[in-house]
Amino acid sequence: MATVNDQITDAVTQTSVKVLAEAPAMAMGSIYQTMAHSTGILFENAVSAQQQQNTLSQAATNQGVMQIYSVDTTASAAASEKILQDAASKTPKG
């Protein structure tokens, strides 16, 4: 059986130890990246929900303003209809 040079054995051993020693740090780095990505998505969703809420608020405000502006028009239409009905009832039919 051939013998292996001690320097080669030491180099391979050191490389293996280095890889094993770096594994926890690599795992933690991966966890931190995943957490940062998840936090980014969380804030994206929060911004999206806020934008949708603002859109709904603007639509509700618009509907309210339209109702306020239509009150006078509705009252005028009702009064005009009453005047026309009164006039029609006073007109002799023949």
Measured between alpha carbons, how far is 88 from 94 in angstroms, rounded to an integer? 13
Q: What is the pLDDT along the chain (94 residues), one digit of tens a residue?
A: 678 888 888 888 888 888 888 889 999 999 999 999 999 999 999 999 999 999 999 999 999 998 888 877 777 888 888 888 888 887 766 5
Q: At 10, is the secondary structure helix, strand, or coil?
A: helix
* Residue 9, pLDDT score: 85
Q: Structural domain of residue 74, as residue ranges?
A: 45-82
Considering its fold, how many domains does the chain have in total?
1
Instruction: Tell me, yes or no, if the pTM score tops 0.75.
Output: no
* Residue 40, pLDDT score: 98
Residue 44: count other Cβ atoms within 10 Å of its Cβ. 10
| Residue 29 counted as domain residue | no
| Residue 70 counted as domain residue | yes
Measured between alpha carbons, how far is 72 from 75 in angstroms, rounded to an integer? 5
| Residue 31 counted as domain residue | no
CA 76 to chain centre: 44
| Residue 27 counted as domain residue | no
Measured between alpha carbons, how far is 85 from 88 in angstroms, rounded to an integer? 5
